[in-house]
Amino acid sequence: MPDHYQSAIWASPNNNLITLTTYRYFDRQKLGDILSKIVFCQQIHSDRVIQVSHELMGRPRADAMITDQANLGLAILTADCVPVFIHDQKRSIIGIAHAGWRGTIAHIASKTLLKMGKNFGTLPLDCQAHFGPSIQKCCYQVSEHLADRFVDNFGESVRINRKFLDLPTANKIQLQRQGMSNKAISMATDCTACRPELFYSYRSESTDGRMISLIALRAT
C-alpha cells in the first residue's frame, strides 16, 4: 500500500503539481524527500487566509494559505476536517484550506479562492479543486441547532436526517457560488471516521494523531 492517499487527477499544463493526503502511518520525514521547503500554518479554526512565500514562511496563524511560488509546500493537519486543495492552472497559483465546521460556516473555501483572485488575479473558471479524505455525512452527527445554521448558509442538501452534516458538499457549494464549475471540483469519498485503519479521526478516536495534506508546485 502507498503511504499517502491518491492525489487528485488534475490537468497541470507543466505536469508540476503535487497534491497528497497522508495515511495515518506516514513517516513525516518522508515529506523532505518530496519537497525541501514546507509551510504549516497554526490552525485556529478561523476564516483567515495568508499568502506565503520563500521569504515569508514561518508558521502563520491561519487556516488557509496561498502562493505563486514553486518548490514551496503548503501543508495542513486534519483528522476529520476537510482538506481543500485549489489550483489555478492558468496562472500556476495554489491554495490549501483547513475546513472544519467552524471554517466551513465561515466560508473558508470561498475566501481562499477570493484571496487568490485578489492577490494574483485568479478567476474561478480557471481553477480546479479537490477535497481530501474527511468525515462524511454517514458519521458527522451534530446538534440540531448547528445543522440549522448549515442549512441557513448552504441549503437543505447539506443536512441528512436532521442532525447529520455533509461537510464536503457545504464547501463545494461555496466554490460553486464563486463561479467554479461542478466538473472542476472532485471529492474523496472515504470517510475518516469509518476507516480507522487508514486515517486518524477525532470523532471516532479522540486521538492527537493527524494526517498531513500538502499542495505544491515543482519548478519547471
Total-model pTM: 0.91
As a whole number, mean pLDDT of residues 180-198 equals 92
Report the CATH number that the domain containing residue 210 is assigned in CATH.
3.60.140.10
Distances 165 to 33, 148, 195 between C-alpha atoms, Å: 37, 10, 18
Under the banding of pLDDT at 50, 70 and 90, the label for residue 1 is very low
Residues of 143-177 as b/e, b for ≥16 C-beta within 10 angstroms?
eeeebeebeeebeeebbbeeebbbbbbbbbbbbbe
| Measured distance CA(215)–CA(220) in Å, rounded | 16
pLDDT one-digit tens code per residue, 25-78:
776 666 766 677 899 999 999 999 999 999 877 788 999 999 999 999 999 999
Q: How many domains does the chain have?
A: 1
Q: Domain range for residue 96?
A: 4-217
pLDDT per position as a tens digit, 99-146? 999 999 999 999 999 999 999 999 999 999 999 999 999 999 999 999
The band of 209, judged by pLDDT with boundaries at 50, 70 and 90, is confident
Confidence of residue 2 (pLDDT cuts 50, 70, 90): low
Choose among 136, 138, 117: nearest CA to 127.
117
* Helix (H), strand (E) at residue 113: helix 108-120
SS3 23: coil
Q: CA 147, 150, 112, 77: dihedral to nearest 10 degrees?
A: 0
pLDDT above 50 for 187? yes
